[in-house]
Amino acid sequence: MTTEQAKQVLRNAGYYVDNLWSIRDVDDDSLTDKQKMSALDMAFNNEHINEEIFYAIGVGIEIITTKLK
């Protein structure tokens, strides 16, 4: 299965997959792949980041529902 096929399977199951991150996005050649994955894990499990994402989702909902009125 290709990455695009895997993304389509997830999309069909209701997941948003258009903004994926990879260890290649961690710009520090001194880190191992495992350390890079840990850095991504810390970033995306950060309470502040999650609050901001849910805030942005709420803004998106407001924009969509306003347009529907």
Max CA separation in the chain (angstroms): 53
- pLDDT for the residue numbered 43: 95
- pLDDT for the residue numbered 69: 75
What residues make up the domain containing 46? 22-68
Residue 63 has pLDDT above 80, yes or no: yes
4-52 pLDDT, tens per residue? 999 999 999 999 999 999 999 999 999 999 999 999 999 999 999 999 9
- pLDDT for the residue numbered 21: 96
- pLDDT for the residue numbered 67: 84
Does some domain include residue 16? no
Residue 68 has pLDDT above 90, yes or no: no
Distance CA 49, CA 40 (A): 12
Number of folded domains that form the chain: 1
Does some domain include residue 9? no
Contact in structure between 28 and 36 (CB atoms under 8 Å): yes
